[in-house]
């Protein structure tokens, strides 16, 4: 693939990730961007390394990605239909975790918090 097409693919991927409110997998992206698997994976890896996107690993072991410029948030995941909903917590709750960790002389750099259950449709 020439350099021009590569740049195009890259910006196309970034745009998709920015416009999709929820984390998407490489498979999802493959259906929208007309390039091969290897290119997608290589681009995703390099964009993660550059801090443009963030990998999100759910317990179904599918690696998904979301734009890194989103505000800090967590996910509610329906175990039946796999729907993902974003939620955020008040800052003082996040701070409480940091305070508890500090008591163990531990400095938290990052965290992932996913909640599993059933969405409204699946209850
Ligand atoms: Zn559901
Ligand atoms: Zn958090």
Do 42 and 63 fall within a single domain? Answer: yes
Do 84 and 106 fall within a single domain? Answer: yes
Do 8 and 56 fall within a single domain? Answer: yes
Q: Return all residues near 110 (Cβ < 8 A) that are at least 6 apart.
A: none
Q: What pLDDT, on the 0 to 100 scale, is given for residue 59?
A: 67
Do 46 and 7 fall within a single domain? Answer: yes
Do 14 and 54 fall within a single domain? Answer: yes
Do 87 and 117 fall within a single domain? Answer: yes
Tell me if 122 is assigned to a ligand binding site.
Answer: yes
Q: What pLDDT, on the 0 to 100 scale, is given for residue 30?
A: 92
Give residue 18 CA to ligand 2 midpoint distance, Å: 20
Question: Residue 32 is part of a domain; what is its CATH number?
Answer: 1.10.10.10
Tell me if 81 is assigned to a ligand binding site.
Answer: yes
Contact 37, 1 (CB under 8 A): no
Say how far apart CA 80 and CA 40 lie, in whole Å: 28
Tell me if 112 is assigned to a ligand binding site.
Answer: no
Do 105 and 61 fall within a single domain? Answer: no
Do 59 and 39 fall within a single domain? Answer: yes
Q: What pLDDT, on the 0 to 100 scale, is given for residue 46?
A: 92
Q: Which bound ligand lies closest to the C-alpha atom of 84?
A: 1
Closest CA to 65 of 32, 95, 97, 98: 32
Closest CA to 71 of 87, 59, 82, 60: 87
More confident residue, 57 or 24: 24
Cβ-in-10-Å burial (0-12, 13-18, 19+) of 78 comes to: middle
> Could you read off the pLDDT of 83-121 as tens digits, one per residue?
889 898 888 888 898 999 999 999 887 787 889 999 999
Contact 14, 32 (CB under 8 A): no
The beta-carbon contacts of 5-8 under 8 Å, at least 24 apart in sequence, are 6/39, 6/43
DSSP code string of 85-109: EEE---HHHHHHHHHHHHHTT----
Tell me if 94 is assigned to a ligand binding site.
Answer: yes
Average pLDDT in the chain? 88
- Number of domains the chain is built from: 2
Average pLDDT over residues 18-43: 89
Q: What pLDDT, on the 0 to 100 scale, is given for residue 29?
A: 92
Q: Which bound ligand lies closest to the C-alpha atom of 73?
A: 2
Do 114 and 60 fall within a single domain? Answer: no
Do 41 and 82 fall within a single domain? Answer: no
Do 83 and 98 fall within a single domain? Answer: yes
Per the structure, the complete domain to which residue 49 belongs is given by 3-67
């Amino acid at each position: 693939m020439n350099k021009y097409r590569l740049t195009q693919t890259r910006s196309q991927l970034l745009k998709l990730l920015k416009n999709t409110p929820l984390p998407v997998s490489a498979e999802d992206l493959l259906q929208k961007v007309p390039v091969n698997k290897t290119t997608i994976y290589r681009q995703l890896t390099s964009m993660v390394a550059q801090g443009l996107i963030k990998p999100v690993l759910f317990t179904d072991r599918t690696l998904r990605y979301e734009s890194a410029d989103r505000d800090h948030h967590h996910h509610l995941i329906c175990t039946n239909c796999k729907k993902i909903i974003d939620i955020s917590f008040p800052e003082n709750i996040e701070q409480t975790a940091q305070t508890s960790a500090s008591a163990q002389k531990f400095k938290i750099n990052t965290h992932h918090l996913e909640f599993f259950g059933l969405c409204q449709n699946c209850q």
